Chain A
Amino acid sequence: MSASSSRSFPLSLAPELFGDDTPETRGDRVYFRLLELFILVYAAWFCWDWGFYIQQNISSVLLPLGLANYVDVSLFFDHQVALINASLVTLLGALGFFRLWRPAYLLALISFHFQYVARYSLGEISHGSNLIGMGVLGLGIALLAFRSESMRRRFTFGYLYFFIGLGYTSAAVSKLIGTGLYWPDGRHLLMWIGERKVDTLSKFGAFDPNVLQDLVLTDYRFGTAILLFGLFAEAVSFLMWWKSYRYPIVLLVVGMHIGIYFSMNIFFAASTYLLILLGLPWNRVIDALLSSDPSGEDRVASQKAPA
């Protein structure tokens, strides 16, 4: 690759991630606000769920994460502090959603971060909320850095496709570095199914393997096929940066999550729902439902507003 083409690569991404040749429709705007609402409601739900769990169960820090390396988060464990923090996230989310205070989302993210590090201070590193956290960060930057609602929308979507694609591809790279090219060996899936069996027994007192798990337990080579698909889906995820590959790649990742659910009983609910929201042209569906006329008055010259 020549020096000039390597310099132009990031610039060529800008129109792919943030550009839009077509005028903005009501569907675009409603879709964005629904996505924003989804991220905020899920963020608040995480914070309240963790808040009650912290209050009920946690009394010590086993593994400091994130800012807990620098701040003692044990104050969250008693006196309803975790629930007060959840209230704060909810309030700041509402202030941001109704555009009452531009720093609100970024401040909500800080409170969300503290809730996460307090909840997972016992050693578990959960990735179930990462995409929602990244979403709040994207919304926070959009609200602070741009005055135009249209640009906020374009930035948030482009930002999400960029970092989600990067995250899944990073997961594939981690596997190849951590284990090597033989990561998809079906015997590895046997091990994870065994682990999930113990976890499920621990949670519910009983475990019944499903059809897919039975298949892998019978012949681990089925597991090899499943892991190959998963690794492939993660490795190519960065292709969602380009518009022409976006929807198929996002749906491929959704398929991988469904595979994880059936093979290992692990459902990344927030991530899967967010990907479904990002993996289909819901703006066009909303346009159709609103019976908007894409060539008529519903079109807006949204680009008039300054970025």
Chain B
Amino acid sequence: MSSTGPRKALRIIGIVLAVYALLVATHKGEFWPFSIYPMFSQAGNPWTRAVVREVPPETTAESIDWSTVPFENVAGEPYPLAPKNINQNDVANYVSKTDDWAPGRVQGLRSLFTKNRTLTAPLLVYRVRGVLADDTVSVSATPVMLFAPDTTHLNPSPAARTLGSTVAESSAAK
């Protein structure tokens, strides 16, 4: 092999590297397939996830306790997402990254459960939050939304619907 081959290859690597750096620098570290791979870089910070519970058919918005509870005390029965081919990260992203539950955003989350299928029982979506406290992880859950087969109810407290508000509330409470 002539030496021009490796040199040409190296030049191409340099060009790809420059494009890589430019794209991730201007797109918050992510421009697939380029990435600075920031996963797990924010260690120890509180995390927010989601769980979905199936509640009895007679459940109404008025009969639900919308307050934050320890994770062990969430209402209803498990509603496993994997058998429904719903990615739990998608649900978690909706409840953790929504600042304003505008109708389009509500419908976007609802469609994860109702697009091309029907609900047989009401579903209660919880936002679950974990914080490090005295070398253990304290986990609490706040109901965000109730999906009845024909309608959707948000947590009546606007402050409890979004993570930002909840954090502010928690800080104020301290």
Interface residues of A (CB under 8 A from B): 10-11, 13-15, 17-20, 53, 56-60, 62-63, 65-66, 69, 109, 113, 116-117, 122-127, 129-134, 136-137, 141, 145-146, 148, 150-151, 154-155, 158-159, 162-163, 166-168, 170-171, 174-175, 177-179, 183, 185, 187-188, 190-195, 198-199, 201-206, 220, 302-303, 306-307
Contact = CB atoms under 8 A, between A and B. Distances in A.
Contact of B8 (A166, A167, A307): A307
A137 B98 CA distance: 34
Interface string B35-68: 1111111111001011110000000000000000
B52 A202 contact: yes
A57 B115 contact: yes
Nearest to A109: B33
B158 interface: no
Interface residues of B, number: 71
Given A134-B33, A198-B51, A192 B87 contact: no
Nearest to A132: B33
Contacts of B1: 19-20, 150-151, 154, 302-303, 307
Interface stretch (B128-136, B149-157, B166-174): B128-136
Given A179-B42, A191-B44, A130 B5 contact: no
Contact of A202 (B39, B40, B42, B81): B81
Interface string B13-45: 110110010000001011111111111111110
B116 interface: yes
Contact of B139 (A53, A198, A205): A198
Interface string B80-111: 11100111111111101110000011011001
Contacts of B43: 175, 178-179, 183, 185, 188, 191
B36 to A, nearest CB: 5
A19 B32 contact: no
Contacts of B12: 141, 145, 155, 159
Given A62-B94, A62-B97, A66-B31, A187 B7 contact: no
B2 A10 contact: no
